[in-house]
Amino acid sequence: MTSNTLQKANSFDATRRSFVLGSTALGAGLSLGLSLPGAALAQMAVPLKTPNEVDIWVVVKPDDSCVIRFVRSEMGQGTRTGLAQLVAEELECDWAKVSTESPTAGQNIARKRAWGAMSTGGSRGVRESHDYVRRGGAAARMMLLQAASDQFKVPVAELSVSKGVITHAKTGKKISYGKVAEAAAKLTPPDAKSIVLKKPQDWKIAGKALHKLDTADKTNGKKVFSIDLKLPNMLCAAIKQCPVFGGKLVSFDESKIKSMRGVKGVVKVNESAVAVVADTWWRAKNALENLPIDWDLGENAKVSSSTISNALTEGLNAEGDFWQRKEGDAPTAIAGAAKKVEAVYTSTFVAHVTMEPMNCVVKLSKDSAFAWVPTQNAEISLAALSEASGVPLAQCDVQTMDLGGGFGRRGGTQDYVHQAVAIAKNFPDTPVKLVWSREEDMTHDFYRPISKAKMSAGLDDKGNLVGLSVRVSGQSINAFLAPSAIKNNKDTRQLQGFYEEAGDAQLGYTVPNLLTEYVMRNTHVPVGPWRGVNTNQNGMYMECFIEECAKAAGKDSVEFRRSLMSKHPKHLAVLNAVAKKSGWGSPLPAGVYRGVAQFMGYGSYSAAVAEVSVSSSGEVKVHRMFFALNSGHFVNPSVVKAQIEGSVGMALSSVFNEDITIENGQVKEQNFTNYPVARLKNIPKVECVLVPTFDFWGGVGEPTICVVGPAVVNAIFAATGKPQRELPLRKHGLTLI
């Protein structure tokens, strides 16, 4: 697919399109003659309006079971359970009777997007939904109470409710939610804005470490991912894209594979991809491997990792107007300082490699299109489905399937949906499941962008930081996916974490003379958001360099940071919390060294301490890691801790191991053999301290990933006396064991 179609999909804004999705269109989506395993049905489209739908968020059935609906995607981050906890908290229902449903993209639009945004990225799942889902739960509670009040003929103020049972204390009358739901559903909902929400200290369901709602089926094989769907007469497709990004498909010789078992057809998917369709995926993939294909690799075939590296280095030294923060005069302050510190850091392209490879199921008919998509944004998937199929948007629908990993790969980039539709066009009225091989997945990702950073600092004769200059040279995600987000030729997203503005990704240090610059150096390699996005690289650059400055100043790592943080009390508080939790400064076993880092992303404040030993042959053991996180509120502390632990695995993997390299314009790494990722034995013991301040709502899935790497790298510096400035570390003599 081309970047042009991506941008179109990206700029889709459902609020600007005036249409109403009628029952006919929805019926078309629902009458596809599906035969699905039971668990898949649970994820299937819910009817638009049922008699016991109290409000859009809450359905109470006669047996008192509560179905809570929302539209954010679930990919293991626990948003399903967290949002259900928030609704249930205000609803005052019995948590043991709660289940959830995911309305389709079409249903959300048909209700004028009443469920809100479907986009599930940027750690937004809870932090940007908490207010309206709680109001939805509270409104449903008020309607249920009013219905009971009408039935008992008593004032609503005399009623109380606990675990879905309404009591009138004066008369001793009791009635459960299930008995009044149908009457409640007929009432006019209260004005959501007038509702007073509970205070977190009064929470009984939210804020608690409850078990997630969807765990059991993930232990017994019942969980159905999109890749597992099996529909009547379904065909399976395997795809091969041009190895060089931007190259073209010239021709293929289908006569060579036409007679292979199960093969139903060979399809030109678009100008740079071909697919084989067969009765099973294994047969499709087998045939594809035997298909002679002629590619026009194009000009990009001349590009390699070394040419990209040279372009980035040129950017580090280029003349021009690149600044984003300019406070005081950093170059002069540094030039005149008693001591100068300078370092150049590099990071590489990194792949998502979700364990469930890219896939999508599509069924196209004459006037309708339906897709089952593991997507982080079903509305973008819907736009892609309509655009690629030519079927009007109102006659398309998308069911979000729980994702086997997302990490940013399956949000704005709906390449696999476009492809599945292009293939399915050749097989009308037949469901087609496109599945990428791991090799396609690894070689056609939207990678975490490559960059280098030139860092300079000046220290006065007392070791105080008087000037700091940061120049990042590298590829821009926005230039590839959302060019309109770049204003005045300055792409602020690439300096995520260095911002002056409070609230999202603010730099936690105050330096009298500060300069930050971003020099855009784009490549032909597709890039996109990867869990933590640019905080990964920028956190490494800043926190490893601050460590070098602390060493040059002869100061303790935590003390040096504290001296820069008096104007950033929330950043400082998590640093102090992790220092305390880790026993910073206390003796360690022989050969074990500590490193520390703090950074901000996704509206939350994170700090980490790592305990590391390094053998003479460069084997690195990360023994323990400590984290402090202030995300304002916590809806489920055990889910939060799981997200922190998970961020450790992904960060250590990328810092030590992961490296997507380019040779002759193509990605060299094809599978886990030459793209090694961290495994169980590599993972340290993780201890977390959660320090909520209850005055904001920050993210959870991404904020901590950016402090893992620098804490570990700084511990390695402490152990070896040598700073590490180039990732991944395994290519510089250090092996994670």
Partner 1 sequence: MVQVNVNGKQHSVDAESDMPLLWVIRELIGLTGTKYGCGIAQCGSCTVLIDGEAVRSCSYPISAVGTRKVTTVEGLASNGKLTKLQAAWVEHQVPQCGYCQSGLLMAVTDLLNKKPNPTDADIDEAITNICRCGTFQQVRAAIHAAAKA
- Residue 439 or 460 having the CB closest to partner 1: 439
* Using rule CB under 8 A, residue 685 touches partner 1: yes
* Using rule CB under 8 A, residue 491 touches partner 1: no
HEC sequence for 517-572: EEEECCCCCCECCCCCCCHHHHHHHHHHHHHHHHHHHCCCHHHHHHCCCCCCHHHH
* Using rule CB under 8 A, residue 77 touches partner 1: yes
Q: What number of residues does the chain have? A: 737
- C-beta of 75: minimal distance to partner 1 in Å? 5
- Residue 238 or 612 having the CB closest to partner 1: 238
- C-beta of 109: minimal distance to partner 1 in Å? 27
Contacting residue, 53, 89, 92, 214, with partner 1 by CB under 8 A: 214
Radius of gyration of the chain (CA): 27
* Using rule CB under 8 A, residue 438 touches partner 1: yes
CB 75 within 8 A of CB 376: yes
- C-beta of 576: minimal distance to partner 1 in Å? 25
Sign of CA dihedral 70, 74, 79, 82: positive
* Using rule CB under 8 A, residue 35 touches partner 1: no
CB 394 within 8 A of CB 372: no
- C-beta of 682: minimal distance to partner 1 in Å? 8
* Using rule CB under 8 A, residue 219 touches partner 1: yes
Only one of the segments 102-110, 119-127, 163-171, 351-359 lies at the binding site for partner 1 (rule: CB under 8 A); that segment is 351-359
- CA-to-CA dists, residue 273 to 269, 349, 514, 615, angstroms: 5, 23, 47, 47
CB 644 within 8 A of CB 621: no
Per-residue contact track with partner 1, 255 to 294, x per CB under 8 A? ------x------------------xxx------------
* Using rule CB under 8 A, residue 356 touches partner 1: yes
- Residue 324 or 354 having the CB closest to partner 1: 354
Give the separation between CA 668 and CA 675, rounded to whole angstroms. 9
* Using rule CB under 8 A, residue 223 touches partner 1: yes
- C-beta of 401: minimal distance to partner 1 in Å? 11
- C-beta of 680: minimal distance to partner 1 in Å? 4
- C-beta of 272: minimal distance to partner 1 in Å? 23
The helices-and-strands tally (H runs, E runs) of the chain is: 19, 28
- Residue 152 or 225 having the CB closest to partner 1: 225
* Using rule CB under 8 A, residue 38 touches partner 1: no
Contacting residue, 650, 655, 660, 706, with partner 1 by CB under 8 A: 650
* 458 beta partners: 340, 467
* Using rule CB under 8 A, residue 672 touches partner 1: yes
- C-beta of 704: minimal distance to partner 1 in Å? 11
- C-beta of 522: minimal distance to partner 1 in Å? 27
Only one of the segments 72-80, 117-125, 575-583, 591-599 lies at the binding site for partner 1 (rule: CB under 8 A); that segment is 72-80
- C-beta of 730: minimal distance to partner 1 in Å? 17
- Residue 29 or 78 having the CB closest to partner 1: 78
Contacting residue, 105, 110, 181, 227, with partner 1 by CB under 8 A: 227
- Residue 77 or 535 having the CB closest to partner 1: 77
- C-beta of 423: minimal distance to partner 1 in Å? 18
* Using rule CB under 8 A, residue 344 touches partner 1: no
Contacting residue, 677, 689, 720, 735, with partner 1 by CB under 8 A: 677
Give the separation between CA 589 and CA 599, rounded to whole angstroms. 28
Count the neighbouring beta carbons within 10 Å of the beta carbon of residue 355: 11
Instruction: Render 280-295 in DSSP notation, one character per residue.
Output: SHHHHHHHHHT--EEE
Task: Kindly report whether the peptide bond that precedes residue 431 is cis, defined as omega within 30 degrees of 0.
Answer: no
Nearest to 620 by CA among 536, 684, 688, 543: 684
Nearest to 552 by CA among 465, 454, 469, 453: 465
Contacting residue, 38, 155, 172, 221, with partner 1 by CB under 8 A: 221
Contacting residue, 112, 170, 211, 722, with partner 1 by CB under 8 A: 211
* Using rule CB under 8 A, residue 638 touches partner 1: yes
* 604 beta partners: 601
* Using rule CB under 8 A, residue 380 touches partner 1: no
Instruction: Render 85-141 in DSSP notation, one character per residue.
Output: HHHHHHHT--GGGEEEE---HHHHHHTTTTT------TT-TTTTTHHHHHHHHHHHH
Q: Name the strands in the sheet holding 451-459, side by side, starting at the edge strand that comes first in the sequence.
A: 323-327, 514-520, 465-474, 451-459, 339-347
- C-beta of 672: minimal distance to partner 1 in Å? 4
Nearest to 246 by CA among 302, 300, 303: 300
Give the separation between CA 303 and CA 666, rounded to whole angstroms. 8
Q: Which residues of this chain interact with partner 1, rule CB under 8 A? A: 37, 75-78, 211-212, 214-225, 227-228, 230, 236, 261, 280-282, 353-357, 402-407, 435, 437-438, 638, 642, 645-650, 653, 671-673, 677-681, 683, 685-686
